[in-house]
Structure 1
Amino acid sequence: MSLSVAAYSFAASPDKVIRSVFEAADDGFDMVKTQNYYSGWVADAIFETLLNYDYLARPAKLVPNTAEAMPVINKDGKTYTFKLKKNIYFAPDPVFGNKKRELTAEDYVYSIKRLADPENRSPSANFIRGKIVGLDAQVRKAKKTGKFDYDAPVAGLQAMDRYTLRIRLNAPDSNFLYVLAYGALAAVSKEAVDAYGNKIGSHPVGTGPYMLEEYVPRSKVVLVANPNYRGFIWDFKSTGSAWDEQLVREMKGKKMPQVGRVEISIIEEEQSRWLSFQEGRIDFDKLPQLAAPVALDGSSLKPDLAEQGIRLYRTTEPEVTYTIFNMKDPVTGGYSKEKIALRRAIAMSYNTQAEISLLRNGQATKAQMIVPPGVVGHDPSYRSSIAYEPELAARLLDYFGYKKGADGYRTMPDGSPLVLKIRTEANASSRVISEIWKRGLDRIGIRAEFEVGNFADNVKDATGCRLMMWGGAWHADYPEGENFMQLLYGPNAGQGNHGCYQSKAFDKLYRQAVKLPPGKARDRLYVQMNRQMEADTAWSVHVSRTRNWLVRPWVMGFKKHPILLSDWQYLDVNK
């Protein structure tokens, strides 16, 4: 369903405050420049895409957002025509000269061109690479001249009039509407980008329900309701669950947003976040995994928490955690048999079940494939060919000439030192994972050094393929397997392919898959791509986490969406 626009009435109250918390730092709010999960969480409240997701519907369902309706699609499946809603305005900002600035189709043309501009080195540019008629030619020209010509027309990207946007694709793409709902394709204004330049990430200006009031990097983010936002009526349909039925009773018919202020603290330590929640200083949060034994009785809250009126919402994230190997690194990289054997042995030394029990407290399942449960393309019968087998891993290393020295640690086949450098973060969870890695690697005789960095900095270094090994997680940007497979696609190296993995076989399968509609044929290709990744051991795949969201009784309307990050505009506060 689409959101019905409220008659103008600024419903958001500054007295209604949501206090949120992030477990890691953002990387600014210019989503063309980053794929940081926490950046996206904030940016999705500031900027708007043409399409969005129904808040309650499961599985995830696309609905119009700034578009009046779902697009008209030509019979050949390659031309999309959108009509924008009128009277959508950017948040007040000096760049507009104290005038209200209306959103137009040209803003989306500019924003998509900006995503493609090679100067921006966007990690999300692959979402549109090769898809829009004429756009790749402009990119190639920009690489030659050193400047992207924003004024040059692109045949497949046209503002037909003030409110009509037409996009023509090179080939039908069943995932393209999902791409248009991704935050990197949200509308930004050229005036703001020109005025703030490289600082646009800390001075975002969008048309969404909130605007940035205060920003202390890696410490605090404060959002306030955008007075120019058009608002909507909360009118979502229940899926029939008891949780949804309560939400509909609480929220139906309200003018949104109700919450006038969002205060976000960055607290990386799990114990500190848990204490803050217990003290009532956080309104809702994922239960830290270390607190599961004291907070949960199976899949239910323990009585002391339930008696406080706290509610529990459980969901398995459409995500996978993994460790990447840098395929360009002189130690872990390369495609020779001995280098593949090294990576495979390393992956076989990691005890995923220890992670699930020691770190996750049972709140996770072992990931068998790149595409997680809840995402189209996941095969529940798939089993990874890489298991926790340290004894076999040790024999594999022996066979390929990684010999042990007098100290018990191995050298490279040429006798040079073998030392793994694993990048990690300064929090309790990362320390547990580092310990699991160390135990496993010690068992097979490989020395490892753990370099501690900040999450946002680690993402930057990983994007540039500068880390030998790094543990990450990928949460679905849209509910289709391509979103995960593109992380290993060769042309995305340095722009989301964090290990610079290059496989002609994998890339060929990927190109075949993206041309197919959803179905068994495409799913079979995803299975083959998984097997190819395992054969090269480009990743060590770990878990999909179960999230237990604890919600204070005064927070109304909460339901964690599998794709949507920003949810403050759907909530109310009643203390």
Structure 2
Amino acid sequence: MRRALLLAVVLLAGCSSPDGETTGPATSIVIGAGSEPENLNPILGYAPDGAAKIFDGLVTRDASLALKPALASELPTASEDGLTWTAKLRTDITFSDGTPLTAQDVVFTYKSVLDPKVNSTIASRFDAMSDVVAVDQQTVEFRLSHPYAPFAQQLALGIVPAAKFSGVDVNAAPFNTAPVGTGPYTVAEWRKGDRMVLRANENYWGGAPAIKSVTVVFVPDDNARATRMAAGEFDGTVLPPKLAGTYRDRAGYKIVQSPSADYRGIGIPSELPLTSSPEVRRAINLGINRQAMIDAVLVGSGTPASTPISPHLKDWYSEDSAFPYDVAEAERLLDAAGWRKGADGKRAKDGQPARLPVLYPAPDVLRKELALAAASDIAKLGIDAPVEATTFDVMLQRRGEAASVWGGGDPYDPDTAAYTLLHSRYAGQDGYVNMSLYRNSTVDTALDTARRSLDPAVRKQAYDDFQRAYAADPGWAFLVFLDHTYVLRDRWNGQETQVEPHDHGLAHAVWWNLERWTPKS
């Protein structure tokens, strides 16, 4: 413990002097992160969209989100029928322990994700994959049961060395907290609930990083991160826009805003008497003033959301699905559904009061403010909407009886943004899939058609159909797409803006390409 504390002090001392002046090239960085991973095993779901720091996938993404070869020597290719994908591996890759990467490692990684004995949180991403085989030491073949248009997007998953799991239960393997990968950094230390220290992989195939040490301190509470950033403990952190704004004119710091496909929305339970009606769920959507939230809560740092498909998915997003702020129409729909106001302004039907609790995770200041704003708008419609602070586990347990403020989304493909969230096959399953227990056969058909077609025109029409059907029968009140806001000491070159997914801890965020940053002289 004493040695670890000394290490932290040394790292901080290398960042600045007590008066805030830099003392030398910034070859180390301390990051305040809002979330901590449960494990570091890609098989179990760690950093499935790449930028993993410790691992590489077959492909990676550049600043524009275009896929580029990583462990693959060229972009994987699909057969004409879309049922077979082939990846050729680079021949110069070794894991950080010096062992060479082979096709067997790739096969083991992907087969383990689908192994029913493995508790992988990302297995649903690979529903279409029926098999994966090593054609030879440098060639891997993925075989699909049906065409899956965005399959290449799933190949950013980090590859693990199969030999490390020989005779070991993947779910409880030592590897999960002390991994070996091909990435630009290795794990030197992980004290759960506190911090993780990464060291540069000097033999990294992409070139040794200039930042040699990365300390990630886990602080889930937004206010606590802001306080510790102000105290000089961090070189960078993610903050809600209001808290980040205090650094706007502070010397030696900069505020970085990254666009994202990361939504915040209220999952509306579709089996409650009140919200079982599409008319009521649509009324709630029409009664929420999203732009007012963006102006007041996000200080302008976001865009209104109506479905999980972000405007950044430009080829697929439909403006026609947007919900205008229309209180009069919301009131009309509630009346038509039989939920009428009494003398006290509260709605009821057949003697049952209209009530919809709104839950949010307690440490998250931003979700709290969004919950309060949304609940206030809902209450103005005559619906009792008490706001409760709780945990994610309780939110899942109560998903059939209360609304909750959830987050998610990615800018890679509408299938990964919407399919498991809204397809009825996932209603009632464990985990963060279809949390509102939503069922709509027209939505199902559109989502199935879109993921199975290789024709962009057919996919476009299917996603238009999906958004139209969803807008008529919404299962959520999607609120906003965030601009992720960071405060960063202005000590490095190399930051590039990238449209970010929901996950923006260490994997993504402003430091998505940290291995290519260089200290300012």
Mapping for residues 272-351 of structure 1, pairs under 5 Å: 272-286=224-238, 288-291=240-243, 294-296=246-248, 304-305=249-250, 308-327=251-270, 329-331=271-273, 334=276, 339-351=277-289
The one-letter code matched in structure 1 to 2:361 is: E
Q: Does 1:425 align with 2:361?
A: yes
Identify which range, 348-357 or 368-377, moves more after superposition. 368-377
Cα displacement string for residues 486-507 of structure 1 (whole angstroms, at most 9, x for unaligned residues): 1212223436322232222111
Change (3 A) 1:541 1:190: farther
Identity across the alignment (%): 23
- The answer to whether the Cα contact below 8 Å between 2:93 and 2:182 also exists between their aligned partners in 1 is yes
Check if 1:567 corresponds to 2:521: no
Match of 1:356 among 294, 301, 315: 294
- Cα deviation for residue 523 of structure 1 reads 1.9
Q: What is the aligned counterpart of 2:326 among 378, 382, 389? A: 389
C-alpha distance in 2 between matches for 1:17 and 1:194: 37
Alignment match, 1:53: 61
Looking at structure 1, the residues matched to 495 and 139 of structure 2 have their Cα atoms a distance apart, in angstroms, of 34
Does structure 1 retain, via aligned residues, the 8 Å contact 2:244–2:255? no
Is the 8 Å Cα contact of residues 369 and 383 (structure 1) preserved in structure 2? yes
The reply to whether residue 542 of structure 1 matches residue 474 of structure 2 is no
The amino acid that maps onto 1:126 is S
Quick check: 2:102–2:137 contact (8 Å CA) kept in 1?
yes
The letter for the 2-side match of 1:51 is: V
Whichever residue aligns with residue 291 of structure 2, its letter is Q
Does residue 118 of structure 1 match 2:129? no
Quick check: 1:79 aligned with 2:87?
no
Secondary structure, counterpart of 2:52 in structure 1:
helix
Matches within 5 A, 1:16-415: 16-34=27-45, 44-54=52-62, 56=63, 58=64, 60-92=65-97, 100-120=98-118, 122-129=120-127, 131-132=128-129, 135=130, 156-181=131-156, 183=157, 186-187=159-160, 189=162, 191-192=164-165, 195=168, 197-200=170-173, 201-226=176-201, 229-232=203-206, 255-286=207-238, 288-291=240-243, 294-296=246-248, 304-305=249-250, 308-327=251-270, 329-331=271-273, 334=276, 339-379=277-317, 381-384=319-322, 386-404=323-341, 408-411=345-348, 413-415=349-351
TM-score (ref. length: structure 2)? 0.81
- In 2, the alpha carbon distance for the partners of 1:550 and 1:452 equals 27
TM superposition shift of 1:165: 0.8
SS in 2 for 1:542: strand
Q: How many residues align?
A: 481
State the one-letter code of the partner of 1:230: Y
Question: Is residue 2:446 matched to residue 1:509?
Answer: yes
Q: Aligned with 1:224: secondary structure?
A: strand
Deviations 1:398-453, CA, capped at 9 Å, x for gaps? 33233556765444x34345432322022322221222123122212222333323
Deviation per CA, 1:253-296: give whole Å up to 9, x if none: xx432222211123344444344444443323445311465555
In structure 2, the CA distance between the partners of 1:332 and 1:17, relative to structure 1 (3 Å rule), is farther
Are 1:489 and 2:450 an aligned pair?
Answer: no
Amino acid at match of 2:93: I
Residues in 2 aligned to 1:449 and 1:368: alpha-carbon distance in whole angstroms? 23
Residue 112 of structure 2 aligns to a residue whose secondary structure is helix
1:299 equivalent in structure 2: none
**Structure 2, gaps ≥5 residues long:** 1-24, 501-506
Corresponding residue of 2:490: 553
- Aligned twin of 1:249: none
CA distance in 2, matches of 1:71, 1:26: 29
Cα distance in 2 for partners of 1:324, 1:492 equals 14
Quote the residue 1:480 is aligned against: 413
Task: Measure the CA separation in 1 of the matches of 2:311 and 2:133.
Answer: 37
Render the CA deviation track for 1:522-544: whole Å, top value 9, x for unaligned: 22321221121122211112122
State whether residues 286 and 326 of structure 2, in contact with CA within 8 Å, keep that contact through their aligned partners in structure 1. Answer: yes
Distance 2:185 2:220 in 1: 24
3-state SS, counterpart of residue 110 of structure 1? helix
Q: 1:73 to 1:277 in 2, by over 3 A?
A: same
For residues 443 and 120 of structure 1, the distance between their equivalents in structure 2, rounded to whole angstroms, comes to 47
Amino acid at match of 1:554: R
User: Could you tell which deviates more after superposition, 286-295 or 363-372?
Assistant: 286-295
Contact persistence 2:51–2:60 (CA under 8 A): no
Q: How much has 1:361 moved relative to structure 2?
A: 0.6
Structure 1 position 436 matched with structure 2 position 441: no
Structure 2 residue 483 is matched with structure 1 residue 525: no
Q: What amino acid is aligned across from residue 503 of structure 1 in structure 2?
A: N
Q: TM-score, normalised by structure 1?
A: 0.74
Shift of 1:196: 6.0
- Residue 221 of structure 1: SS of its match in structure 2? strand
After superposition, the C-alpha distances for 1:32-70 in whole angstroms (9 at most, x for unaligned) are 4458xxx6699812222111113x4x2x22111111222
Contact residue 350 and residue 388 of structure 1 kept, 8 A: yes
SS of aligned partner of 1:103? coil
CA contact (8 A) 1:15 1:260 kept: no
Which residue identity does 1:22 align to in structure 2? A
> Relative to structure 2, which stretch is displaced further, 552-561 or 194-203?
194-203
Partner Cα separation in structure 2 for residue 440 and residue 187 of structure 1: 48
| Aligned-residue CA RMSD (Å) | 3.3
Question: Structure 1 regions of 5+ residues with no counterpart?
Answer: 1-13, 93-99, 136-155, 233-254, 297-303
- Cα distance change of structure 1 residues 414 and 79 upon mapping to structure 2, 3 Å threshold: same
Residues 312 and 275 of structure 1: is their aligned pair in 2 closer, same or farther, counting only changes over 3 Å? same
- The 2-side partners of 1:180 and 1:202 are apart by 23
- Measure the CA separation in 2 of the matches of 1:286 and 1:526: 33
Q: Secondary structure at the match of 1:69?
A: coil
TM-fit CA distance, 1:105: 1.2
